[in-house]
Structure 1
């Protein structure tokens, strides 16, 4: 599966890992399905791991549509936090494009190069949450 998803912790932090080539359609379909009908996701923070992704098939229109699809304002009165972990310039550039769109829609986006930075930024520095997240993302 090109995109794996798992929710961890009491706060329901959503971990999402992109593996290999993921088309705009696959990305949009996966996230639209996630956002439809699951109330917890309206308040959840996200970690999107692009370190195993081949981002060459992504388009600027797909990134814009993704930001629009994730535009569910959190009901808790604060911005949703989205940590995007990258390891190359192309993924970083696409993440910056997403960040520009998403921050207009009550989402706080941070682009990082390591899980050791991303997880604490999301409030997942405590054990066993930190180890659970790192272990799951290391699988595959």
Structure 2
């Protein structure tokens, strides 16, 4: 059985995917399991491979969606992206890390914020 929290998360990802498509992104993967983790969305935008973390919050309690991406989560996303690139022979592919924040309730229109290149990755962060 799906919990209300899981339903909200799924709705947030669907909204993010639809918004990205309208902006010209080509969605390559959604909810891709890599080892023990999951990448929310992987998209192509022009010549850039984009790894997108989607965070939805019903309220801004505890800082809302922006505070859901901490240092541990960034490391996990980088590790999963490294695995994806290695598995697909894309170690020379230019890529970036975006975050889409969805704030709102199930009533009314949620607010979507797209943070392009939400965090930087140094060469020492990659785990080949």
Relative to the length of structure 2, the TM-score reads: 0.35
Say which one has the larger Rg: 2
> Structure 1-normalised TM-score?
0.33
Q: Decide which structure has greater strand share.
A: 2
